[in-house]
Structures are given as C-alpha cells and as structure tokens.
Structure 1
C-alpha cells in the first residue's frame, strides 16, 4: 500500500554553500534532522560559484533521504528558493529557457535539484544568512570547513 504524504516522515534540512572568491573554490554543508537525530554532510568543489554550491547543498540534502519524506528545507539562498518555487515552472514550460529566451544558468543543477525533490513533499524556506541563526551558522561552518579542507596544502 502506498504511503500518503501525511504518513511520510518529517525532516528538517538546513543547507548552505559558498565560494571564496566567487567564482573560485567552494564548499557546501547540510544538517538533516529526523526523529530526534541529526546528520551532517558536506563537500567542496575546486572551481565553482556561490549559487552552484547553494544548489549542490540543497540537492545533496534531498538525495541523502532514503525514502519519500515531508521536508522543510531551509536555505539562505533566495536564488534556490525562488528557482524552485517561482521560476521552475516557466523554465520547464519554455524548455529550460529564461523569460528572455536564453538558456537557464546552472541548468544541470536545477535538473538535479528537481529530480532530488520529486519523491518528497518539500517546503522551501528562506532564512537570512549570517544573522545569528544557529542552524544556518552551523551549515555555514560546515561549508567553510569543507572549502578550507579542499584548498589547504597537504602536509609535506
């Protein structure tokens, strides 16, 4: 018997990504909360942009879930939230073209994010970054640590 959306587990996903400089090396971080447990994941890319790292964090959060869930995904990226809640319908209707007719930037990651969100019931929530929000600060630190680990010189 198929599970109804109301029966799906509830998950909180906190995501962040960034670069130093932009574009340049980047990192992303995720905090997942489910049933009183937490899981952190993070990663880095040697040559990317802030937007790509924000999108990678959100996609990675959703891809980490092993079954359909009700997800509240928190991001400090208006680009990610607006892309998924406002712009995506038009882009797909126009065959991945912007309103001006240009190809959508970061189309590969928008498609990845769309696929990752598909099995879930996702509520996208924007939070102000760098404003003392504990979970947002935590995923920012994860992203920064991943970036620093990826760009540090190995010991000789």
Structure 2
C-alpha cells in the first residue's frame, strides 16, 4: 500500500485578519488539492486547520501519513509532546483549543508523522500549498471562523 504524503500551509493577512489554508494530498500517482478562506482568523489557526482538513479528507483509517508543513507551531506541538501536556491541563491558557480537540481523534486514527519543511523555499508542493492558502485568504469568498470570532472578536 502506498504511503500518503500530505503538504499543508496556512496564511493570514494580518494576525488576525482574512486567512486561508492550502492542502496537497499525494497518494501514489493521485493528487488532490484543498483550500478555503476565512474572514477573520490567525496564521496558526490556518496552519492547524490545514492539517485537520487533510486528515478529515482521508476515507480509510489506519493509514501511514507523513504531513509536511512549514509550521513549527504545529510540528513542535505534536512531535515535542506539548499537545499531550495541554490536554492534561485542559488547555489552560492555550490558544486554539477547539482546533486541537478536533485534531486529536483524527491523529489517533492514523500513523501520522509530522515533518517540518522550510517555507518559501524550493519544495514545489509546499509552494503550491502557499499559493492555495494565500489565494483563499485573498479570495473574498470566506467562511466564518466562528470559534475565533466568538472568543477573540
């Protein structure tokens, strides 16, 4: 069985401001792209949401998935174990609890390896995700990041 490779990126115009995510899923010779813009959000929320959307798009459970992202926030939260410490404290004084709680069951369904990749460099898939994310942020066709707007204005 082929390994699933995922590239993700998030962007915001202002922090907070209009934002978007971009995802490229690669399964053997198949490739799928996903993106969406949001009216008011943050870069970190879009980085994390990109990973969530990628994992939500998987139709089977138990897959081996390598997620490439230029977000140290996302990679370090998972690979350095910060997320599991936050869970133990019910995310006390931590941002993006709603998204992390959405992420955790998706993460547990698969064998996920998070891999940091340098942003705005020579990786064509990361660059494509950046194009998708920034186009979504700039599109004017935005969804509402309801939890962010409810709690942060």
Who is 2:97 aligned against?
Answer: 107
Q: Residue 25 of structure 1 contacts residue 147 of structure 1 at CA under 8 Å; is this kept in 2?
A: yes
Gaps of 5+ in 2: 143-153
Deviation at 1:145, TM superposition (A): 1.3
**What corresponds to 2:121 in structure 1?**
131
Relative to the length of structure 2, the TM-score reads 0.86
The total of aligned residue pairs comes to 140
- The alignment partner of 1:150 has SS state of coil
Matched, 1:11 2:4: yes
- In the TM superposition, structure 1's runs of 4+ consecutive aligned residues that sit over 4 Å from their partners are none
The aligned runs of 1:28-43 (5 Å cut-off) are 28-43=21-36
Measured after TM superposition, the shift of residue 9 of structure 1 is: 4.8
Distance in 1 of aligned mates of 2:6 and 2:101: 19
Map 1:76-91 → 2, pairs under 5 A: 76-86=70-80, 87-91=82-86
Q: Hey, what's the Cα distance between the residues in 2 that align with 1:128 and 1:116?
A: 25
- Return the structure number with greater relative CO, CA threshold 8 A, min gap 6: 2
Preserved CA contact (<8 Å) 2:37 2:141: no
Q: Which has the larger radius of gyration?
A: 1
Alignment root-mean-square deviation, CA:
1.5
Length-normalised TM-score, structure 1: 0.85
- In the TM superposition, 1:37-76 aligns within 5 A as 37-68=30-61, 69-76=63-70
3-state SS of the aligned residue for 2:139?
A: helix
Alignment partner, residue 139 of structure 2: 149
**What is residue 93 of structure 1 aligned with on the other side?**
88
Corresponding residue of 1:4: none
